[in-house]
Structure 1
Amino acid sequence: MRNFYQHKKALDENGFSIIENCFSEKVLRKIIRIVENNNFNFSERQLLNRFPEIEKLIFENDNFKKLFRTICEESYFLSKAIYFNKPPKSNWFVSYHQDLSISVKNKIEEEGFNSWTNKKGQLGVIPPLNILKNIVTFRIHLDKTDKTNGVLKVISKSHKKGIIRLDNCFFESKELEEVVCDVGKGGIMLMKPLLLHSSQKSISENDRRVIHLEFCNQEIPMEWLEKKYFNYN
């Protein structure tokens, strides 16, 4: 059986960790078939609510279950599920940023919750720092990802600096360590949402399809939109 404790340590220390070969080619084909049959475009929100068959394929996977048990305590629940794709030769890049917005059910004005958004009827808000610190992201890679098709670049340990003001002074710091995060097909990248990350344009003929799952263990007044506990025993 695989041991994932070193990845928990790396996640806490560096803000990210990469685990290769978590999903077999057979399982990946089943997930990709669902994606293709439903004509996903660049993104698909509330993924596991809309496609429970994908949820089953992920959470019945032994490697994923063991990794999840290692990284997250039983109090953790799903808070967001998105499918992303950067198609072949996509001509956009994403500059350095942190994932600050959470998806919620109700708009309730509460101290510490700021920058409300409404994207196609889905409410988002930036919560207090203690909530962001308790979110963990699992990025499941359906394709090999490298510098040719929009690989993530991260600033190691930047998750320890809270919400960061991105100005010239920050990027001039000699302490910054940029890491290119190649991930093989079927691999998982763990990431803290406060970790600074970016992605480049794709110059490849290959997709960069990722299932992005966020988990948290904190309650909020406005309720999580996609809150779901999993039996992973």
Structure 2
Amino acid sequence: MRSQLDHVGFAVVEGVIERSHAEMLAHDIDAQLPDVPAAGFRGLTQLVPSVRTLAQSPELRALVETGLSANARLVRSIYFNKSQETNWQVAWHQDLAIAVQRRVEIQGFVTWSSKDGVPHVQPPAHILDRMLTVRLHLDPADESNGALWVVPESHCLGRLPAGDAAGVAERMGKHLCAVNIGDAMLFKPLLLHASRKATSSQARRVIHLEFADVELPAPLQWSEVA
């Protein structure tokens, strides 16, 4: 898996958790966040204890430590809930922004923004290279309900201008990452990826966890550390 992540930028690992565990997590999220916006929520592990336990579980740690290192820590968690009622399309992009505790101007950290009140900034590429995203699927996902498309090896190109992303995807070729309940998809932040609108009635609920094994230059701090 580490070799695949290094060379193509992503990997799908089947059956990381049982269907019953996925169903329990979905139930807990609904119970803990009854007023959550239907499309999703940030800071998930801070609000749903069972998701925090999942992020620290042997199953998840084995993936993270193989794909990154034993020093990796959780730095951001998001819940995505795509359905026909909450439907959206995501254009080709790289995940360039990280969440931090407060805004501090430091050379190389650019393009500040705020998402749900949390400061976000684009760090130097070497920070992104020390990160890994783990998406745990609570539903099956395919082309009909918004499974991720990726561009293999695009993470090797470094930070790309946003306007070049679609052209790079067309030139390099894309791959659909179809998954089942309990599967995990792992990818590097600089990997180009996209998602189409759902055309089926099947929901696509995802626990999105980001890990890093690098400290930010003081006084910058990760917003969510576990």
Identity of aligned residues (%): 34
1:183 and 1:142 map into 2 onto residues whose CA distance is 10
Per mean C-alpha deviation after superposition, the further-off stretch among 173-182 and 17-26 is 173-182
Moved more, 160-169 or 217-226: 160-169
- The residue number in structure 1 matching 2:21 is 27
Aligned counterpart in structure 1 of residue 174 of structure 2, from 178, 192, 196: 178
Choose from 163, 172, 184 the match for 2:159: 163
d(CA) in 1 for partners of 2:53, 2:44: 12
SS at match of 1:75: coil
1:59 pairs with one of 56, 59, 67: 56
User: Corresponding residue for 2:189?
Assistant: 193
Question: Equivalent residue for 1:231?
Answer: none
Unaligned runs of 5+ in 1: 1-6, 229-233
Q: AA paired with 2:75?
A: S
Aligned to 2:198: 202
TM-score (norm 1): 0.88
**Shift in Å at residue 172 of structure 1?**
6.5
Give the equivalent residue in structure 2 for 1:227. 225
Could you tell me whether the CA contact under 8 Å between 1:90 and 1:202 is conserved in 2?
no
Cα distance, 1:30 vs structure 2: 1.1
The farther-off stretch of 71-80 and 105-114 is 71-80
1:78 match: secondary structure: strand
1:1-233 alignment, distance < 5 Å: 7-37=1-31, 38-39=33-34, 40=36, 41-60=38-57, 62-88=58-84, 90-167=86-163, 171=167, 175-220=171-216, 221=218, 222-228=220-226
SS of alignment partner, residue 148 of structure 1: helix
CA RMSD of aligned residues (A): 1.9
One-letter code aligned to 1:123: P
Q: Quick one: distance in 1 between partners of 2:84 and 2:165?
A: 35
Q: What is the CA distance between 1:93 and its match in structure 2? A: 1.0
